[in-house]
Amino acid sequence: MNKVVELDQVIEKVQDGASIFLGGFLGVGSPLKCIEKLAASGKKDLTIISEVSGMPGGGFDMAILFKNRQVKKIITSHIGTCPELLEEYKAGRLEVELYPMGTWAEKVRAAGAGLGGVLTPTGVGTKVEEGKQKLTINGKEYLLELPLSAEFAFIKGYRGDKIGNVEYRGVSVNCNKVIAAAAKYTVAEVNEIVEVGGIDPNHVGTPGIYVNAVVQGYSFDEHVQVFNQHWEEIGQLKRKN
């Protein structure tokens, strides 16, 4: 089954009020094309589920969604790096649900594995435990954290084949592998689309069984240019030619 589709077809499936996983960590491994198209679509009242809030300084990746006031809630582990998000939060227009980073990841992993939840000692005796079931096992207290899933996941890979197998490059894998399995509909944005067999099986990070659609993102060279331009704009060092 050929899973390669146009990005516009994917965005059409997203309705107002949808819950969406966004891959990436501080901009690295973010599905930039998906985010751009989502921002341009005007979809609103979205719940964004992301490991962290965006590249420091803002103005990049998911920041546009907050600037456009398209997001009503974010479920994450950190919000301090994105000025656009903070502005929405301080204005009372954005609901924020925070979890320790490891807990966030395990909640998502539990959803992908079909588990009923995960037990963690993180947060016991703090505000994190409020409203949660606490269990004592072998004399140690744990919190029961329930699975965290979403209607959509937008992940970013280096290469993808036509049946949805995805290869990642370096640290850009971050949370992409985890969220791919935890959504009802997973979209893989990749730098390059290849034929089946074009990815070494040992390099497949997300098997095609977890992917519903493959879309063409920026090429690798274009991706580098996008980051270089942003780093120049915010006064950071840019990659040497």
Asked whether residue 142 is assigned to any structural domain, the reply reads no
Total structural domains within the chain: 1
Asked whether residue 57 is assigned to any structural domain, the reply reads yes
Question: What is the pLDDT averaged over residues 184-194?
Answer: 98
Residue 69 predicted with pLDDT over 80: yes
- Chain segment 90-111, per-residue pLDDT in tens: 999 999 999 999 999 999 999 9
Residue 67 predicted with pLDDT over 70: yes
Asked whether residue 99 is assigned to any structural domain, the reply reads yes
Asked whether residue 46 is assigned to any structural domain, the reply reads yes
CA 44, 48, 53, 59 torsion-angle sign? negative
pLDDT of the residue at 27: 84
Which residues share a beta bridge with 48? 20, 74
Alpha carbons within 13 A on the beta-carbon side of 137: 9
> How far apart (Å, rounded) are the C-alpha atoms in residues 165 and 207?
5
Asked whether residue 124 is assigned to any structural domain, the reply reads no
Domain of residue 154 covers 7-116+148-234
Asked whether residue 230 is assigned to any structural domain, the reply reads yes
Asked whether residue 80 is assigned to any structural domain, the reply reads yes
Asked whether residue 161 is assigned to any structural domain, the reply reads yes
Q: Work out the pLDDT band at 236, boundaries 50, 70, 90.
A: low
Question: What is the pLDDT averaged over residues 81-97?
Answer: 96
Strands 150-161 and 183-194: parallel
CATH number at residue 215: 3.40.1080.10
Average pLDDT of every residue of the chain:
94
